[in-house]
Amino acid sequence: MSLAVRFDDIHKDFGPVRVLHGVSFALAPSRIYGLVGENGAGKSTLMKILAGYEKPSAGAIEIDGTPVHFGGSREAEAAGIVLIHQEFNLAEHLTISQNMYLGHEKRRGWFVDDTAMHDEARHYLAQVGLDKTPGTPVRELIVAEKQLVEIAKALSRHARLLIMDEPTATLTPEETHRLFALMERLKADGVTIVYISHKLDEVERITDEVIVMRDGRFVSRGETAGFTRQQMANLMVGREVSDMFPDKAPVPEGAGVALKVEGLAVPGWIEGLSFQVHAGEVFGFAGLVGSGRTEAFEAMLGLRRRSAGRVEIAGRCIELNSPRDAMRQGLTYLSEDRKGKGLHVDLSLQDNLTLMTHERYAHPLIDTRAERDALQQAVGEFGIRVGDLAGRARTLSGGNQQKLALAKFLQPDPRVIVLDEPTRGVDVGAKRDIYFMIHRLAREGRAVIVISSELIELIGLCHRVAVMRAGRLQAILGREHLTEEELIAHATGTH
């Protein structure tokens, strides 16, 4: 059952760009490793090499003392190494069990044995705590549930070494708790786990040992208990990280109402939601997954049917039919489901950035020069790490895709900005950049709405925070009431 891995001087080049510069370290069985590093440090790439998705340009991997060369992920899986991808890898139109057994179908004679697959799928779904039948189409699942399907799928492959690339980015505290219990069980069974995360508090909680990478190199390792979070952050970034949040500039006296929502109702989700956000204000939305925050904004934007409600932007009553329409009227919305709705990973960075505002660059021909300038500027302003400016969005690391999505959504120069989980999967340094950027946008007189499941983020960032529970607004907390205890109490209904 045991499986020991050694990376021996692993290099990786993508074309002319070197992203791994001779990484060497070893992993022992039955331990949970936290692999941390900035966006673009090479964590996912190294793990994709281990799991057979990429080939090293030089160097070798040894398993139990023997060099291995995987021809693909199937060969790695056969050796017991399974990677759960950072970005979801599920086929939306297939069912849960079809996804779990895609390419690994169980057969009875010549026939696909649906019953056997369903039975087994049910077993693994119960293990990860996902209360859905195996026949449920994946497109009907929310993001957190898709993550659980990925984990169930990995378990069904009998992993001896399980790599989880940002598994909790989309999970609630409750789901995370359950996942950690599951990880402990797997570890007790002899499974080695590599846990990649930007949530350093979770790294502290669940891992035995921390491995830090920076700029494609191994930097440091040690027992988790021997690191403080601050030390991890400093090692990742290569300098002292301090003051995560900017000072909150007060919302100017007499600032106009930028967004006013009255009596919004979405059948099955929201009842009577009313709030207003001022120009220059950073306004948060807290609540558990399923409390209706995302749904409320999707309804406002015409992505969901609403049965009642009035929306005003800068005093003008408007009817929004689509995100594009909303953008024209001055409101942009960055969805939490980046891959599904935010970026087109197969298009170039350039096309992604300017897709929403092509009109602006066409007079009447597309001004490619201006487009290129806009990309250069976005890359600089948002600190997007790119190997190749002409590359596709897919070639960016997870966190850098996130920054590109942000840059893209701010292209139309909006009056109201809605950011759903803006720092998910983003490293500490970049998080800080995004926080400062949000405040800069607010100081320019825009209203910024932040939907987040990180309470610390909402408290550090927002002037006021609305708390939703079961589709209803519970409270709007400002200043002195903006504490974790108050937020949790309202979100869970124990106030």
Ligand X SMILES: Nc1ncnc2c1ncn2[C@@H]1O[C@H](COP(=O)(O)OP(=O)(O)OP(=O)(O)O)[C@@H](O)[C@H]1O
> In the set 34, 167, 309, 398, which binds Mg ion (CB under 5 A)?
398
Site membership for ligand X, residue 352 (CB under 6 A)? no
Q: How many residues bind Mg ion (CB under 5 A)?
A: 4
One character per residue 16-35, x = contact with ligand X (rule: CB under 6 A): -x-x----------------
| x-or-dash string of contact with Mg ion, 38-77, rule CB under 5 A | ------x---------------------------------
> Measured from the CB atom, is 44 or 294 closer to Mg ion?
44
Contact 418, 449 (CB under 8 A): yes
Instruction: Output DSSP code: residue 362.
Output: B
Residue 425 found at the interface with Mg ion (CB under 5 A)? no
Single out the segment in contact with Mg ion by CB under 5 A; choices: 115-123, 182-190, 392-400, 471-479: 392-400
Binding residue for ligand X, selected from 4, 8, 14, 308, defined by CB under 6 A: 14
Q: Is 292 in the site for Mg ion (CB under 5 A)?
A: no
Query: Interacting stretch for Mg ion, rule CB under 5 A, among 26-34, 271-279, 393-401, 459-467?
Result: 393-401
Q: Does 237 bind ligand X (CB under 6 A)?
A: no
Options 22-30, 61-69, 73-81, 397-405: segment touching ligand X (CB under 6 A):
397-405
Other Cβ atoms within 10 Å of 485 Cβ, number = 11
CA torsion through residues 195, 196, 201, 204, sign? positive
Q: Report helix, strand or coil for 8.
A: strand
Query: Whole-angstrom Cα distance, residue 2 to residue 19?
Result: 30
Alpha-carbon distance of 225 to 239, in angstroms, equals 21
86 touching ligand X, by CB under 6 A = yes
Closest CA to 270 of 303, 301, 294, 302: 294
Q: Judged by CB under 6 A, does residue 275 bind ligand X? A: no
Strand positions, DSSP E, 279-388 = 282-286, 308-313, 316-318, 331-334
Please, how many CA atoms are within 13 Å of residue 458, restricted to the half-sphere of its CB?
30
Q: Establish if 402 lies at the interface with Mg ion (CB under 5 A).
A: no
Quickly count: other Cβ atoms within 10 Å of residue 166's Cβ.
22
Q: Which of 5, 23, 32, 41 binds ligand X (CB under 6 A)?
A: 41
- By the 10 Å C-beta count (0-12 exposed, 13-18 middle, 19+ buried), 4 is classed as middle
Beta-strand pair 270-278/257-266? antiparallel
43 binding ligand X? (CB under 6 A):
yes
Residue 34 as a binder of Mg ion (CB under 5 A): the answer is no
Contacts with Mg ion by CB under 5 A lie at: 44, 86, 397-398
Contacts with ligand X by CB under 6 A lie at: 14, 17, 19, 37, 39-45, 86, 385, 387, 391, 395-400, 427
